[in-house]
Structure 1
Amino acid sequence: MYQLFDYQQKLVDGARKALAEGNKGVLIVSPPGSGKSVVIAEIARLTTEKGGEVLFFVHRKELVNQIKDSFIKQGVDLSNCTIMTVGKVANRLGKIPKPDLIIIDEAHHTRAKSYKKIINYFSDVPLLGFTATPWRMNGKGFNDLYSSLVEGPQVEWLIEHNRLADYTYVSRILGKKDLLKVSSTSDYTSRSMNQYIKSMNFGNMIKTYEEFAKDRKSIVYAPSIESAKLIVRKFKENGFNAVKVDSKTHKAEREEILNNFKIGKTKIIVNVDLISEGFDVPDCSCVIMLRPTKSLVLYLQQAMRCMRYQPHKKAIIIDHVGNFKSEEKVKIKYFGINNEIKTKVKKYPFGFPRDKRNWTIYGRTKPTLSNSNKGPAITTCDYCYAVIPANAVICPICGEKLLKKKKEIISRFNLDDDTEMEVLDSPDKHSDLFKTTYILTQDPSTFTTFKQYSEYGKARGYKPGWAYYHAKAKGLIR
């Protein structure tokens, strides 16, 4: 059986308490990689242990198989469980046993007709929905389906407590973003994304991979099968063995490709809308985003796929399409001069995976990102490439005096005029200044000065004695 972490047990207790208080629908929110399947399995075990019937469904067959494995490991009585995809459940409503509890994974899909058909059919049955991202592109909320929200820890807390891997975020936009057009669904059109990929500087894609992620197990996100083939070809032309996989790949071949990636036989896997929710490869340490999106859900699911925790792991997120800059438009109502109600639209950037987010079951009438994370303008140090406050005169990381310059972006390579690259980190949630973890990308065993140990220790939050001890052990202090 799984031994639940404290925060996972709190989610179990919180969900049960909310149901006991009379809520018919409870939405449980916890970040990608935080172990929602363990929480689901424990709740299912507690329900079946008392003879209760559980109905579990999700939108993809791969996720059904994964939850079955989790149920078995947790000792859930499968004879009291119906575990299927949402499509199969919707077509068997009169044939499956009536449940005592309904559990939905990836519950941000709950607004779909097939989900609501099932929920309405079992309208008197308590409902638990699990998601990392309770967010819909159309701005609609979930309060008509769930009356209570149980929220797990923020990403930053999970990183600090070794439950998710820390990361370095690299942004190097390689294509012409003015080619991207928004469709009626509010995301980019397939045609414009393909045009964007064709406009890319693939030489700089390879250079960025070699600089930051060479020999790392890497997942590449492509917008289409056609673009995935092109990306694979460019990797292979430069001596890197990349493999394409998508929903149209034959089942046996797809399973072989994914298994070869898991065991390390394949290092680069280029996928199309296949590897996001639920795909778990802990030693994958790099994500390369070549699929532009205006969906916060898709962005976080893809960006955080390399953040599964392993000791000493530091993930690399390479964003070639500027997804972290994508903006959410939020309508805000306010009173005018004559107390008339007016509406205006504000834009809020998606930001970084570790940014604090204020999730809600209600429709979006306020920003998703916490206002405390907006921070001041930033720039990139000419010398160490850390992201620092734009008004800094001396780089707080490397100590170099900064050059005065107009708005521009410094690159690590000789780039074309339409190409930009930044090494980024997110704002410190406890500070008004942006904080970089550039020093954390270095291996402490390679340090040659006490200053390096001291900066590394401060960035990690270690006590001052840590730097002194290691520097002395290496003979740097007498």
Structure 2
Amino acid sequence: MFQLHPYQSKLVEQARQKLAAGNKSVLLVSPAGSGKSVIIAEIAHLAVERGGNVMFMVHRQELVNQIVQTFQADDIDLQDTTIMTVGKIANRLARLPRPSLIITDESHHSLAKTYRKIYDYYAEVPRLGFSASPWRMNGQGLGDVYEAMVEGPSVKWLIEHHYLAPYDYYAPTLIDVQKLQTSSTGDYTNKSMDAAVPKAIFGDVVSHYQHLASGRQAIVYAHNIEASKQVVEAFQSVGISAVHADAKTPKAQRNRIMHDFKAGEITILSNVDLISEGFNVPDVGVIIMLRPTASLVLDIQQSMRGMRYKQGKRSIIIDHVANAYRFGLPDTEHIWTLHDRPKKKAKDKQGPPIKTCDACYAVIPAQCKVCPVCGYELEVESTGMGVDDAAQLKKLTVENFKFVVKHPNHMQPSEATSLKDLQQIARARGYKPGWAYYQAKNRGFITDNKRRKQA
């Protein structure tokens, strides 16, 4: 059997007590990277040892394969288990062995009809659900399918006690967040993400990586396949080994990519919604976020993917899409509940009190006048940024670049070296055409002789 950490054993005991108190269904909440699969295996092992039959279900086949490997590593007799995707179980209810315990992973999905069909069929069977983030974009709580909830330690506690790696978070925003629009599902539409993430930024993504995490292996989260492949090309163009993978990548090819990445033969692995929920990827310490999202669940899964603990390791998170200003940082405290969340008015949707250092791009407390990371004296005092404050986020898009990014669209006027540079800055910022000429003349880019020749 696996040897659980004390906080994991405590979570198992708390869940047992909830069931003993008469609750038929209990949700266990524990942060990403806290060893959820080991806890699940321990609970399954105890149930099988007592003559029970365990049904484990999750929404993706890759996660099924992983838990099978974990159960085998814990010497669990698989003959006493049913391990399948939710869809397969729902279509085989009359033929499957009756379980004595049902375990559902990634339980924030469990309000869906297929899950409820299974829960209704086994209405008298006790159930345990697991999630790092019991949160749905529509605000609906999980109280309809779980009677009780127990929580593990916070991300901050896990970092302080060396169960998760500490991190540095940088937010050199490269996208135009004003173009992001939500769909009926609550997340941003593909069309609006295409508009918000211009192709011109991918060279800047490479520049930031070289400055902040050069040489370290990194996972890139892109918003679509085309963007992911363009990111790969940008890295390859400067001699950095990079590959793309997505859900449609053939399984054999995907396995080979993961093998090569684990072996260190690939430096940058760019993907589209592939390496998120429980996906088994080799240990990596750098995350590059190019997929804007309105989903807290997705943000947590992606931003924390590089925080698996290893002695001496410090994770680096480079957020190019301003997700930190919607949800905060990995160790930002969240109040989890089984109840529905009350809808907030736009004026009440305030983001966390943070800002980005103009010099090193580190995300720091809003009240800081001097960056605690690089010592830069901040010129403008900020009180934080609201989630819907597009004007503030737009300011990040245009003005947050001091010494890494060289694309004219992101230059400071003082960095321009020609009339052309100033004209591109003017177009990017919506200035009147005369601004570029006035600036160029004052800096000596245009003289009366040049003006007469142009005429």
TM-score under structure 2 normalisation? 0.80
Spell out, residue by residue over 1:337-391, the C-alpha distance to the aligned partner (whole angstroms, 9 max, x if none). xxxxxxxxxxxxx100011111111111389xxx9x9876656375x76655666
Q: Distance in 2 between matches of 1:215 and 1:77?
A: 43
**1:260-409, aligned counterparts within 5 Å?**
260-281=260-281, 283-326=283-326, 350-365=327-342, 378=355, 380=357, 403=379, 409=400
Report the equivalent of 1:413.
Answer: 404
**1:22-33, aligned counterparts within 5 Å?**
22-33=22-33
Cα deviation, residue 398, structure 1: 6.7
Report the equivalent of 1:209.
Answer: 209
Q: Distance in 1 between matches of 2:180 and 2:411?
A: 17
Cα distance 1:398–1:148, how it changes in 2: closer, same or farther (>3 A)? same
Q: Distance in 1 between matches of 2:236 and 2:356?
A: 35
**409-418 or 249-258, larger mean C-alpha shift:** 409-418
Q: Distance in 2 between matches of 1:224 and 1:315?
A: 25
Aligned length: 393
The answer to whether the 8 A contact 2:66-2:280 is kept is no
**230-239 or 351-360, larger mean C-alpha shift:** 230-239
The answer to whether the 8 A contact 1:175-1:419 is kept is no
Q: Distance in 2 between matches of 1:30 and 1:292?
A: 24
**1:14-413, aligned counterparts within 5 Å?**
14-281=14-281, 283-326=283-326, 350-365=327-342, 378=355, 380=357, 403=379, 409=400, 411-413=402-404
SS of aligned partner of 1:191: helix
Cα distance 1:187–1:200, how it changes in 2: closer, same or farther (>3 A)? farther
Cα deviation, residue 253, structure 1: 1.0
SS of aligned partner of 2:226: helix
SS of aligned partner of 2:172: strand
Cα deviation, residue 393, structure 1: 5.8
Q: Which runs of 5+ in 1 are unaligned?
A: 327-349, 422-478
Spell out, residue by residue over 1:100-150, the C-alpha distance to the aligned partner (whole angstroms, 9 max, x if none). 100001111101111111111111111100010000111101111101101
Q: Distance in 1 between matches of 2:14 and 2:200?
A: 47
Spell out, residue by residue over 1:42-87, the C-alpha distance to the aligned partner (whole angstroms, 9 max, x if none). 0001100011011001111111111111111222221110001111
- Which has the larger Rg? 2
The answer to whether the 8 A contact 1:48-1:80 is kept is yes
Spell out, residue by residue over 1:444-467, the C-alpha distance to the aligned partner (whole angstroms, 9 max, x if none). xxxxxxxxxxxxxxxxxxxxxxxx
Q: Which runs of 5+ in 2 are unaligned?
A: 383-394, 413-455
Cα distance 1:72–1:169, how it changes in 2: closer, same or farther (>3 A)? same
**287-296 or 404-413, larger mean C-alpha shift:** 404-413
Report the equivalent of 2:429.
Answer: none
Cα distance 1:274–1:403, how it changes in 2: closer, same or farther (>3 A)? closer
**411-420 or 63-72, larger mean C-alpha shift:** 411-420
More strand by share: 1
Cα distance 1:420–1:163, how it changes in 2: closer, same or farther (>3 A)? farther
The answer to whether the 8 A contact 1:281-1:308 is kept is no
Q: Distance in 2 between matches of 1:153 and 1:118?
A: 30
Q: Distance in 2 between matches of 1:158 and 1:379?
A: 25
Q: Distance in 1 between matches of 2:90 and 2:37?
A: 22
TM-score under structure 1 normalisation? 0.76
The answer to whether the 8 A contact 2:358-2:400 is kept is no
Q: Distance in 2 between matches of 1:399 and 1:69?
A: 47
Cα distance 1:75–1:420, how it changes in 2: closer, same or farther (>3 A)? farther
Q: Distance in 2 between matches of 1:404 and 1:114?
A: 52
SS of aligned partner of 1:116: helix
Cα deviation, residue 413, structure 1: 2.9
Cα deviation, residue 415, structure 1: 5.2
Match for 1:361: what amino acid? L
Spell out, residue by residue over 1:307-333, the C-alpha distance to the aligned partner (whole angstroms, 9 max, x if none). 00000000010111111112xxxxxxx
Match for 2:123: what amino acid? S
Report the equivalent of 1:431.
Answer: none
Cα deviation, residue 394, structure 1: 6.0
Q: Distance in 1 between matches of 2:268 and 2:373?
A: 33
Cα deviation, residue 412, structure 1: 3.8
The answer to whether the 8 A contact 1:282-1:306 is kept is no
The answer to whether the 8 A contact 2:26-2:148 is kept is yes
Cα deviation, residue 15, structure 1: 1.0
Cα distance 1:23–1:200, how it changes in 2: closer, same or farther (>3 A)? farther
SS of aligned partner of 1:244: strand
Match for 1:216: what amino acid? R
The answer to whether the 8 A contact 2:179-2:196 is kept is yes
Cα distance 1:127–1:409, how it changes in 2: closer, same or farther (>3 A)? same
Spell out, residue by residue over 1:402-426, the C-alpha distance to the aligned partner (whole angstroms, 9 max, x if none). 65689975634355686599xxxxx
SS of aligned partner of 1:57: strand
SS of aligned partner of 1:297: helix
Spell out, residue by residue over 1:4-28, the C-alpha distance to the aligned partner (whole angstroms, 9 max, x if none). 0000001111111111111111000
SS of aligned partner of 2:149: strand
Report the equivalent of 2:442.
Answer: none
Counting aligned pairs with the same residue, the percent is 51
Spell out, residue by residue over 1:181-218, the C-alpha distance to the aligned partner (whole angstroms, 9 max, x if none). 22111111112222333344222111101011222121
